[in-house]
């Protein structure tokens, strides 16, 4: 039963990650401007409170740090190497506390140490379009997906950081469409398998070189998975609001804050079991 619950929570956590992968962002005021050898340090905090109707609850708080290295460029793209360098997690699942600290490996819970250690200090090259901010992994083989049934702990990383390398890189940049003024809005959307995401951006203000953008996101998802021989259907809706501060001369995000309300359900032995959660995140880019 514990494995079933972990698997469901792993699937549930995917809706918390607002991956930019494949998003057709509109061309901005100016293209992304970076220098070869430039480094951007991404520091993020994520908190989550989730509950199931059966009295099971999950809470977590985490901090992570990624380093983005600008490796090369051409007239259309930059190649940026992303490396997850630090991760600290405190989690309580069904009354059982678990922790992980990449700086104190000898004190970590053995159940999750291997999963998280495998992600640390592994550089991955990402190509990003300098006029749209769309990022894709150079080596598709690196982007191996594991189902929760194969390794239920691996999906937990999604709760604590933007675990996909292309999402981390793309999230570091935001361009404003040409001709947009204060108060104007624009949209983008993605459909991946059974998940649809619609993002609405509104330009709130511009001060010197920095623009404040309001972000509103609605994500709906429906997944069917096989867990220990049982097919389960999971449905969810995530509503997110947030703010992004971006440098209009370089396209580089300075700070991003989001808050999310998630509602969903899964079918277990013919019964719908509701799940609700609240999540918040803050990221800075220096």
The two beta strands, 230-247 and 210-227, are antiparallel
The residue behind tokens 């989001």 is 258
The answer to whether the CB of 218 falls within 8 A of the CB of 238 is yes
DSSP string, 89-153: EEEEETTEEEEEETT-GGGS-HHHHHHHHTTTT--EEEEEETTT--EEES-GGG-----TTT-TT
C-alpha distances out from residue 201 to 30, 105, 175, 211, 216, Å: 17, 40, 11, 12, 7
Give mean pLDDT, residues 78-83.
Answer: 96
Mean pLDDT of 31-59: 89
pLDDT tens digits for range 142-155: 444 444 444 444 44
| CB-count burial class (<10 Å; 0-12, 13-18, 19+) for 74 | exposed
- Which pLDDT does position 2 carry in this prediction? 53
The reported pLDDT for the residue numbered 134 is 85
User: Do 100 and 109 meet the contact criterion of CB atoms below 8 Å apart?
Assistant: yes
Bigger pLDDT: 147 vs 38:
38
Q: Is the pLDDT of residue 9 over 70?
A: no
- Tens digits of residue pLDDT in 238-275: 899 999 999 999 999 999 999 999 888 877 667 788 88
Structural domains of the chain ordered from first start: 2-285 (2.30.230)
pLDDT in tens, 163-222: 578 889 999 999 998 889 999 999 988 887 778 889 999 999 999 999 999 999 998 988
- Is the predicted pLDDT of residue 158 greater than 60, yes or no? no
Provide the mean pLDDT of the chain: 80
pTM of the model: 0.84
Q: Tell me which residue of 233, 211, 215, 231 sits closest to 223, measured CA to CA.
A: 233
Question: How many other β-carbons are positioned within 10 Å of the β-carbon of residue 172?
Answer: 26
Q: Does residue 159 sit in helix, strand or coil? A: helix
């Amino acid at each position: 039963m514990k494995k079933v619950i972990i698997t469901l929570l792993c699937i549930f956590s995917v809706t918390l990650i607002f991956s930019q992968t494949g998003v057709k962002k509109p061309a901005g005021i100016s293209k992304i401007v970076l220098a070869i050898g430039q480094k951007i340090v991404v520091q993020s905090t994520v908190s989550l409170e989730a509950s199931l109707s059966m009295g099971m609850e999950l809470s977590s708080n985490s901090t992570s740090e990624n380093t983005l290295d600008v490796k090369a460029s051409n007239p259309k793209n930059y190649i940026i190497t992303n490396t997850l360098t630090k991760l600290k997690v405190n989690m309580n699942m069904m009354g059982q506390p678990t922790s992980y600290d990449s700086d104190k490996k000898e004190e970590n819970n053995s159940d999750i140490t291997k999963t998280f250690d495998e992600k640390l200090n592994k550089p991955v090259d990402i190509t990003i379009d300098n006029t749209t901010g769309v990022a894709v992994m150079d080596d598709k083989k690196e982007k191996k997906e594991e189902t929760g049934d194969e390794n239920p702990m691996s999906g937990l990383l999604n709760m604590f950081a933007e675990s996909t390398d292309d999402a981390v890189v793309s999230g570091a940049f935001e361009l404003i469409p040409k001709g947009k003024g204060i108060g104007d809005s624009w949209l983008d959307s993605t459909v991946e398998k059974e998940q649809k995401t619609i993002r609405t951006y509104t330009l709130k203000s511009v001060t010197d070189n920095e623009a404040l953008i309001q972000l509103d996101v609605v994500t709906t998802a429906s997944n069917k998975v096989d867990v220990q021989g049982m097919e389960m259907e999971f449905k969810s809706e995530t509503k997110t609001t947030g703010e992004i501060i971006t440098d209009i001369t370089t396209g580089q995000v300075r700070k991003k804050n989001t808050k999310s309300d998630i509602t969903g359900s899964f079918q277990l032995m013919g019964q719908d079991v509701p799940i609700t959660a609240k999540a918040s995140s803050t990221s800075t880019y220096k």
